[in-house]
Amino acid sequence: MKWSLAILSIFLFSSFPHLGFSQESLEKSRAQEEILRGYLQDTQAALESHPEDLKLLMDFTAGNAFLGQWDEAVATYRSIRNRLEQVEREKLEGLLLYVRTGLIQNLTILPDPKGGGEYSFFAPYLLENPLEGSPEEVRDRKMENLSQGWELYRQGRYLEGREVLEGALSLEESSIGHFSLGLLIHQTGDPLEAIFHLEECLRLVGRDKVTAVFYATLAHAYINSYNFGGAVKTLREGLEIYPDHPFLLYSLSNIYRNTGSTENFVSTCEEIKAKDPVVFAFFEEECEKAKASQPITGDTHRSTF
């Protein structure tokens, strides 16, 4: 049985229980672990015939990470890092990061324990169900608009999906409306408009009511609009609520690395190293080079943001 990294990640995202401890969930978890172990064994066997196959090596890295075998995952990652295209490398790093920080749990599709099944859509981003306490007819109306907008988006009918969500928001301002529209617009490549709606959602729900993923998503929209200062500010605000969170530190380091802010990059890498040596492996080689390039006088390039 041979699964690709994408198939494996979808399996994990959609199947693993969210810290559930019922007998049923534990049995399901054990069964899925056995499937993953079988997948990893198949991948390892395939590597014996094709030891340089990048796709197999990426799958092997991810499989070990999913099973918590981080020594093997990091060793394989280090062996292939410089052979990967930037997009491939960042995709693999992102997947490993979700697993390492436990954020993979938040991405599982789950019913709302308080009774609102729609909460599964927001769980990666919002700490509380934005529809909790609303009358049933209000919940149904908002979820109907949301579902219709995202179904159109899924079909590739992006403008129609956007129009549905914009229409709903024009009739009634809500955090769910701004969040949904901001996320969809972000996906379709209009970062400035996405920033507006995500910031409005943040204003309505409160800065301590969103997850680290929300802050990273908003920061990514700022990056796509070439507002690196806004991205750094957003990530720093997130770190005030989630101190030393590896996911946010990783995003911050990427900005400093890509904008040539050497001193900030090295400093953030040291923060990551102290917090999580596994995540530090993503930057280890470049961090060492950056430190070696710093003048002894300390006259380094520190960004104003």
> Going from the N-terminus, what domains does the chain have, and what CATH number goes with each?
5-106 (no CATH), 119-293 (1.25.40.10)
- The separation between the first and the last C-alpha atoms of the chain, rounded to the nearest angstrom, is 49
Q: What is the pLDDT of residue 185?
A: 87
Instruction: Give 125: exposed, middle or buried? Use CB within 10 Å, 0-12, 13-18, 19+.
Output: buried
Per-residue pLDDT of the chain (305 residues; tens, 9 = 90+): 333 444 344 334 333 333 333 344 445 556 777 888 888 899 999 999 999 999 999 999 988 998 889 999 999 999 999 999 988 888 888 888 888 877 654 443 333 334 444 445 566 788 877 777 667 777 777 778 778 887 887 788 888 888 888 888 887 788 888 988 898 888 787 899 999 999 999 999 999 999 888 999 899 999 999 999 999 999 999 999 998 788 898 899 989 988 989 999 999 999 889 888 888 998 898 899 998 887 655 444 555 56
Q: How far apart are alpha carbons 120 and 72 in whole angstroms?
A: 32
Q: What is the pLDDT of residue 39?
A: 85
Contacts 24+ apart (CB under 8 A), 178-184: 178/204, 179/122, 179/125, 179/126, 179/130, 180/146, 180/149, 180/150, 181/149, 182/221, 183/125, 183/217, 184/149, 184/150, 184/153, 184/158
Contacts 24+ apart (CB under 8 A), 98-104: 98/247, 99/12, 99/62, 99/65, 99/66, 100/65, 100/70, 100/246, 100/276, 100/278, 100/279, 101/212, 101/245, 101/246, 101/247, 101/279, 103/211, 103/212, 103/213, 103/247, 104/12, 104/13, 104/16
Q: How many CB atoms lie within 10 A of CB 265?
A: 27
Residue 157 near residue 139 (C-beta atoms within 8 A): no
Q: What is the pLDDT of residue 227?
A: 96
pTM comes to 0.73
**Nearest CA-CA partner of 19 in 11, 29, 9, 10:** 29
